[in-house]
């Protein structure tokens, strides 16, 4: 049986795993701090981040945030009231609504995150193509491990995710 005060079975601490844990912990704080500085909620910031990557509708906001459609409507209403998001008819299906990030919304996200993006770009440029391939493989594998938690949730006693 594993020592309850030590690392869980299946976890072999390494410098890379500790660095990843630190990154995840800091990353969780970044959204909260940026949202507070921008005067919006954490969920509003996450919505702006989703909309900065693609146009989605209110129902998709609800699904991605794992909130009710009523809660998603409230989030969108607040972002529309601030001028960060616009509702537009969906291009292919006029019965649906599409959310579009405005220049104001894009500036709000970028203004707070740009220093981090610049620092990450500089760091990325310091790697050789071969090093970048290894880092990408590690990060994509880490993202897949995170996805498993979202998909399966709890692990069995042997540490394997429940199907």
**Rounded average pLDDT over 131-139:** 97
The answer to the question of residue 80 being in a domain is yes
**Rounded average pLDDT over 57-64:** 93
Domain that holds residue 68: 31-102
Q: How many separate domains does the chain show?
A: 1
* Euclidean distance between CA atoms 84 and 136, whole angstroms: 32
Helix (H, G, I), strand (E, B) or coil at 4: coil
* Euclidean distance between CA atoms 103 and 35, whole angstroms: 17
| pTM reported for the whole predicted model | 0.75
Q: Which residue in this structure is represented by tokens 């969108």? A: 76
- The pLDDT of residue 149: 86
**Rounded average pLDDT over 8-34:** 88
Tell me, what CATH number does 86's domain have?
Answer: 1.10.10.10
Q: Contact at 8 Å (CB) between 104 and 83? A: yes
Higher pLDDT, 110 or 68: 68
Could you tell me which residues are beta bridge partners of residue 155? 161
From its phi and psi, is residue 42 left (phi > 0), alpha (psi between -120 and 50) or beta?
alpha
155 confidence band (pLDDT: 50, 70, 90): low
The answer to the question of residue 68 being in a domain is yes
The answer to the question of residue 136 being in a domain is no
């Amino acid at each position: 049986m594993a020592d309850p005060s030590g690392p869980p079975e299946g976890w072999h601490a390494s410098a890379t795993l500790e660095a990843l844990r630190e990154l995840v912990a800091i990353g969780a704080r970044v959204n909260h701090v940026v949202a507070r500085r921008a005067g919006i909620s954490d969920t509003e910031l996450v919505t702006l981040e989703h909309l900065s990557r693609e146009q989605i509708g209110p129902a998709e906001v609800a699904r991605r945030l794992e909130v009710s459609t009523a809660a998603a409507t409230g989030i969108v209403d607040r972002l529309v009231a601030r001028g960060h998001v616009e509702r537009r008819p969906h291009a292919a299906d006029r019965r649906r609504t599409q959310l579009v990030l405005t220049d104001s919304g894009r500036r709000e996200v970028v203004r707070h995150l740009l220093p981090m993006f610049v620092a990450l770009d500089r760091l990325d440029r310091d790697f050789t193509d071969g090093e970048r391939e290894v880092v990408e493989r590690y990060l994509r594998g880490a993202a897949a491990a995170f996805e498993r938690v979202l998909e399966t949730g709890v692990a069995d006693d042997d540490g394997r995710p429940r199907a």
